[in-house]
Chains A and B, each alone.
Chain A
Amino acid sequence: MTTQTRVKVAKYSDLPVRNGVAITVGSEKIALYKVTSGEVYAIADKSPHPKGGVLSEGLVSGHYVFCPVYDWKISLADGQVQAPDQGQVKTYEVEIERDEVFLRL
């Protein structure tokens, strides 16, 4: 069984809308996004494209981010790469309490 830790990663009011923020927690590189509707998502900051690429700089539309390097469309909610491309990015559970954003990992 794995244990989950909860880490405080940002202030909610600090997060820009529709513009990813790159963070690292331990050895994991993570991209945080606040979308227009106000939700916050966290996914691994690396595209599953064979040549990789960061995701935090991608264009955000609704609940999706477009990989800035190869233009794959990736769901922020479940990390699923949208057809016709394929793959999945790791997602992290986000919790918001007052103005604090926590990740579970």
Chain B
Amino acid sequence: MAKQKLVMIGNGMAGVRTIEDLIKENPDAYEITIFGKEPHPNYNRIQLSNVLQGDMSIEDIILNQLDWYETNKIQLFTGETVVDIDLDNKEVISDQGQRVAYDKLIFATGSSPFFIPVEGIDKQGIIGFRDVSDCEVMIKGAEEYQDAVVIGGGLLGLEAAKGLKNLGMNVSVVHLMPHLMERQLDAAAGAMLKQELEKQGINFLMEKQTVEVLGDERATGLRFKDGSEVKANLVVMAVGIVPNKELAQQAGIVTNRGIIVNDFMETNIEDHYAIGECAEHRGIAYGLVAPLYEQAKVLAKRLANVPTEPYEGSVTGTQLKVAGVDLYSAGEIEGDDQTKAIRVHNEFEGVYKKVLIRDNHVVGTVLYGETTESTRLFRMLSNKEDVRDMTSLSILQAAGEAEEDDVAAMADEVVVCGCNGVTKKTVVDAIHAHNLTSVNEVGGCTNAGRSCGRCKPLIGQILEHTLGDSFDGAAAKDAICSCTTLDRDEVVAEIKEKGLTSVKEVMHVLGWKNEEGCSKCNPALNYYLGMIYADYKDERDARLVNEKMHANIQKDGTYSVVPRMYGGVTTAEDLKKLAEVATKYEVPLVKLTGGQRIGLFGIKKQDLPSVWAELGMQSGYAYGKTLRTVKTCVGARFCRYGTQDSMGLGMELEKKFERIDTPHKFKMGVSACPRNCAESGIKDIGVVGIDGGWEIYVGGNGGTDLRAGDLLYTVKTKEEVMDIASAYLQYYRETGHYLERTSKWVERMGLDHIKSVIEDEKVRRELISRIDQTLERYNEPWQEAIESDEIQGKYYRPVVTN
């Protein structure tokens, strides 16, 4: 018998999850066709906020790559919209004129942003926040324009606002109500949230009703009911969503707010189903994935003809995915005269917790500033547990206290991943059955952690608890790129064991999927090989542009030149040379960098060798995964507080370690007293002079994820500083993952562990000897280029014009 044809309209989160579940139930039940309006495979819409905020790329959020569709023999049409349905002949019709016949049809069309019907709403520059293309418009808009306004202070609006702020815009949020996220938070938590976001630079216009969008073709501002106005060249509408029901409605299926379905996701017409945000179940159209995934399970079983419990609706919990904000809410928010509230408001630490109880049952919770109990409270709420015998004290439990025991004591049926409804037992069973060792693998088997990601730390704890001693956080498996399934440690071990010596050989022998690798593994392998073999011959073409060119590429294809200025100390002679070169080559920008030296920006590629030659200086490696700068303060030679020669030590450190390859860039600072004018507290290695000695701080970072350094040792002499720096740096080189800054590495390895390695006299000596040996292999790269016609011909040749 020929297979039945299943067609699905919409290639989004709920729809594709249904298909995944269906395939698990019965891979051969249907011939499946999916239409998706967007030009992408199925991606994690929830993480768009992270894409906008700059923490993830689109590639990072793809849930099902194209080969998943192929492997499962699913016919996918992306960038193609279904515009009509012929119910009589059971065919869907696309905007490209394609007609596809079906036996069963699923509507999984999601919803659309609601645009408030005011004058001027159709002007350019007004968008919703729903898909990849909205993100792209915002990213592009941020380049051209200054002022953004988000209408709506709910979940989506605030995430959009934070993203736009990160993109460098002035952002105001317009909100109709007196406090933010009023559907999820009470006034107290809403006020705390507002205060935090104001601190992060977002402006709020509360209790404002928009009545008009100003501007000619493009929006220039908004006018409010009270007559006031605000400037805006980019307006994001985030006041709510409307289910995409039109297609079903046109075809004669019963709709209300959404497409009406019963407890099995069936519409009023046989063989026609609806799932996700477009569906309305018992009067509710859900807008979060957790309930949608429960619906998906039911529908998948129904389609596979497997008996299933009905879907009877869900209780939902919400969190906000904005850095610096920990917030969770579920169930009722305000309570009534039947409810009793347990409230903790710790203004000092910015923590607010409220639990609403009615008839001995938790009916709602709002947590702000500290949300570790969210899972437990949500369970009590959704399981309607009787809380009579519980003490209310535990809600005051300190953060992190007895977390380990929490996992041990956690009952099997506790839901670990709210989005995907995965219980502790499911996670533990999967770990045992498939020998899982990483959070990502658990996600692959159970779906836990694959949506909002909030549960990942908990899954990590369960892994740790389940595997006991055999769990090694460092060994958690993460392939180095999509060309291989091997992780960093496996690759390094294979290189050593098989004696592999070149990037090409590694890819060949270890069975790389792409013969010449990709932009992730080429530089990584080149690094690992150079770390393993002290006399490694670098493969220049495996490096990405900046390191290959020994100059940093600029947006227009020109380069920057930043010469060494050891310890930030220069001379009149050198300044003259810089000035002469800048004049002669008409350098567009001469700038003091944040690293205490001078950068020449906007130099043409073919001029690089002669600029270097005329400067007669060394490369400052402002482009490399290596030692960047050693910032120093004036110190004891001049400063009245100085206790040590900070400039001297800084220059010595810079001269010793310059050029050494490291997993990521590496920065140092030396200050001569605790006033710390060289900012040693936020350096990969920061040294602070004190009376009679030096303090050595490690793991500091002043970049994306600010981290204060940890005190590693206090020592007496400069020689000891040099030794510890050598051993520390080499240990980082030998154990760091490519592109892992020391701030992350220190946290992964643990400071005590690192200390125990360095304190072992024999190990320390060996580390020092290996780094010294490695340092011998380097030549000055600018000099090398000046002297070699071959290098100039290959890398710096002028553009040939025909």
Contact = CB atoms under 8 A, between A and B. Distances in A.
Interface of A: 7-10, 16, 18-19, 21-26, 29, 36, 50-54, 57-62, 66, 68-69, 71, 73, 83-86
Question: Which applies to chain B's interface (DSSP): helix, strand, loop or mixed?
Answer: mixed
Interface in B533-576: 541-542, 544-545, 548-549, 553, 555-557
Contact of A57 (B41, B58, B136, B545): B545
B545 A58 contact: yes
A66 B515 CA distance: 15
Nearest to B548: A57
A4 B541 CA distance: 35
6 contacts: A23-B800, A59-B522, A59-B541, A62-B516, A84-B59, A85-B58
B168 interface: no
Contacts of A25: 801-802
A61 B549 contact: no
B69 to A, nearest CB: 12
Contact of A23 (B39, B518, B541, B801): B801
Interface stretch (B177-185, B486-494, B791-799): B791-799
A50 B556 CA distance: 13
Nearest to A25: B802
B191 interface: no
The A interface, classified by DSSP as helix, strand, loop or mixed, is: loop
Contact of A68 (B59, B140, B545): B545
B136 A61 contact: no
Interface in B771-802: 794-795, 797, 799-802
B794 A84 contact: no
B41 A71 contact: no
A74 B517 CA distance: 14
Interface residues of B, number: 37
B133 to A, nearest CB: 10
Contacts of B694: none
Contact of B555 (A8, A10, A23, A53): A53
Given A19-B794, A68-B545, A83-B40, A50 B518 contact: no
B519 A62 contact: no
Contacts of B58: 84-85
B264 interface: no
Contacts of A62: 514-516
Contacts of B59: 84-85
Nearest to A18: B541
B143 interface: yes
Contacts of B528: none
A73 B555 contact: no
A84 B555 contact: no
A24 B548 contact: no
Contact of B517 (A23, A57, A61, A85): A61
B43 interface: yes
Given A9-B800, A69-B555, A84-B62, A19 B795 contact: yes
B40 A24 contact: no
A10 B62 contact: no
A68 B544 contact: yes
B553 A69 contact: yes
Given A18-B541, A62-B515, A84-B43, A54 B557 contact: yes
A21 B517 CA distance: 21
A61 B518 contact: yes
A12 B556 CA distance: 28
B66 interface: yes
Contacts of B802: 7-9, 23-26
A24 B799 contact: yes
Nearest to B797: A21
A46 to B, nearest CB: 9
Nearest to B139: A50
B544 A23 contact: no
Given A25-B802, A62-B516, A85-B58, 12 more contacts: A22-B605, A23-B800, A23-B801, A23-B802, A24-B801, A51-B143, A51-B555, A60-B516, A60-B541, A62-B514, A68-B544, A69-B553
Contacts of B516: 18, 36, 60-62
A16 to B, nearest CB: 5
Contacts of B136: 50
A32 to B, nearest CB: 9
B522 A16 contact: no
Contacts of A36: 515-516
A67 B801 CA distance: 22
B229 to A, nearest CB: 30
A55 B502 CA distance: 25
B555 A68 contact: no
Given A36-B516, A61-B516, A84-B43, A23 B548 contact: no
A57 B519 contact: no
B545 A23 contact: no
A8 B801 CA distance: 11
A54 B522 CA distance: 20
Contacts of B544: 59, 66, 68
Per CB-CB distance, the 3 closest pairs between chain A and chain B, nearest first, are A68-B545, A66-B519, A61-B516
